[in-house]
Amino acid sequence: MSLALTRRREFLKAGALAPTVVAAQPSHSLPQIRLGRHSVSRLICGANPFNAGSHLSVFFNQELRRYYTPEQILKTLRRCQEVGINCWQSTLGNLDLHRRLLDEGGKMHFLALDTGEAQSIEALVKGGSIGIAHHGEFTDRFFKKGALDQMRDPLKRIRDAGVLVGVSTHMPAVVDTIESQGWDIDYYMTCVYERHRTAEELEKLLGQAPIPVGEVYLPNDPPRMFKVMRQTKRPCLAFKILAAGRLSERPAWVERAFRETFAGIKPADAAIVGMYDRLSDQPLQNAEFVRRFGSTPGNQAARAEPVS
């Protein structure tokens, strides 16, 4: 077993008992933000763990693949709903699970990532997605090639389909560019770490390029993204606030990441966090952090509408 996974398990066991993390009797509501006509909890369940995409190692990916069967994903989503999380975010590949969740009595919103092809947009809309964001990996590739305008047609197709239009990115400069050009979008998904810099970019920043294994997460990145999130009036959904699990080894690191995220973003923003609940009740733990750090007069008053 890897050292990282051993530490992760030790943290999860400790976190399940930590009184600053878990409340004995949780409230069943969370602070809300508005996304169009929808009221969405400031904590949204991310799907990377469900999809075995840990951004940590192939070994942990294998563990996620074994654990997150369709039945377990639904169980985790139901637990999310119980603690006040009323939205999850994924791709077309999980749409059938979302429909099954609703058919079995679940009441959660679904936000999608996609490249904006007509066929996938149609399927996502029919499946109940309330919004579709242009996938950040593709967004950033367009930006680096100076071809961001190639996104305009996919975004228009999303707009014409009648759901919310989003852009996902890992780069503050993308938000700055789209804002300066006044694009017709409703929200951003904003990774707080610019995790796919080239070796040349890292060498310029650090004076040397790291060993090319895995991804590099720089501590100064979140404040850069928080700044552009505050500068736009559009809602932003911060993701990878725990540096794709790298800040999960110690309870104090987790708490600080939630505290600094909600201190750094505006009241109209939310966070997307993946849940791995094999060893502890992460949906409840994360919800309690959002109740502590994400409650403001502006979003406490928002009321969730029925989810169909």
For 54-63, 64-73, 102-111, which range has the lowest pLDDT when averaged over its residues? 54-63
Condensed to tens digits (0 to 9), the pLDDT of residues 277-300 reads 998 999 999 999 999 999 875 444
183, part of any domain:
yes
The model's pTM is: 0.84
64, part of any domain:
yes
163, part of any domain:
yes
92, part of any domain:
yes
Q: What confidence score (pLDDT) does residue 194 get? A: 83
24, part of any domain:
no
Q: What confidence score (pLDDT) does residue 12 get? A: 45
Average pLDDT over residues 40-64: 84
Identify the domain containing residue 176 by its residue range.
32-197+215-294
Q: Is the pLDDT of residue 21 over 60?
A: no
2, part of any domain:
no
299, part of any domain:
no
Number of domains the chain is built from: 1
Q: Is the pLDDT of residue 308 over 70?
A: no
Q: Which residues contact 302 (CB under 8 A, 6 or more apart)?
A: 31, 32, 33, 34, 39
Residue 152: CATH number of its domain = 3.20.20.100
Condensed to tens digits (0 to 9), the pLDDT of residues 140-187 reads 999 999 999 999 999 999 999 999 999 999 999 999 999 999 999 999
16, part of any domain:
no
